[in-house]
Amino acid sequence: MVNSPWSHRTVLLNEAIAALLINPDGHYIDATFGRGGHSRLLLSQLSAKGRVTAFDKDLEAIAEAKTITDARFSIRHEGFFCLGQLPAASAAGVLMDLGVSSPQIDNPTRGFSFRQDGPLDMRMDTTRGQSVADWLAGASIETMTEVIREYGEERFAGPIAKAIDRRRQERGPLRTTAELAEVVAGAVKTREPGKDPATRTFQAFRIFINAELEELQQALEASLKVLQPGGRLVVISFHSLEDRIVKQFIAAHSREVFDRRAPFAAPKAMQLKALGRTKPGKEEVAGNPRSRSAVMRVAERTGVSA
Tell me the average pLDDT of the chain.
Answer: 90
> Would you state the pLDDT for residue 2?
46
Answer yes or no: are the C-beta atoms of 26 and 91 closer than 8 Å.
yes
Instruction: Find residue 96's DSSP bridge partners.
Output: 235
Cα separations in angstroms, 262 against 150, 258, 265, 270, 283:
36, 8, 5, 18, 53
Model confidence at 106, pLDDT cuts 50, 70, 90, reads: low
Give the mean pLDDT of 178-190.
Answer: 92
Residues 6+ apart with CB under 8 A from 81: 215, 218, 219, 222
pLDDT for position 5: 46
Instruction: Examine the pLDDT at 297 and tell me if it is beyond 80.
Output: yes
97 and 107 Cβ atoms separated by less than 8 Å: no
- Asked if 236 contacts 97 with a C-beta cutoff of 8 angstroms, the reply is yes
In the chain, domain spans:
13-103+212-301, 125-209
| Paired strand residues for 237 | 295
Assign 190 a pLDDT band (cuts: 50, 70, 90). Answer: confident
pLDDT at position 262 is: 58
Say yes or no to pLDDT of 86 above 70: yes
- Residue 182's pLDDT band (boundaries 50, 70, 90)? very high
| pLDDT surpasses 50 at 306 | no
Can you give the pTM of this predicted structure?
0.89
Query: What percent of the chain stands above pLDDT 70?
Result: 90
Fold annotation for 125-209: DNA polymerase; domain 1 (1.10.150)
Residue 104 neighbours by CB distance under 10 Å: 22
- Bridge partners (DSSP) listed for residue 276: 298
**Architecture of the domain defined by 13-103+212-301:** 3-Layer(aba) Sandwich (3.40)
Summarize pLDDT for 1-46 with one digit per residue, the tens: 444 444 567 899 999 999 999 999 999 999 999 989 999 999 999 9
Residue 124: how many CB atoms within 10 A of its CB? 25
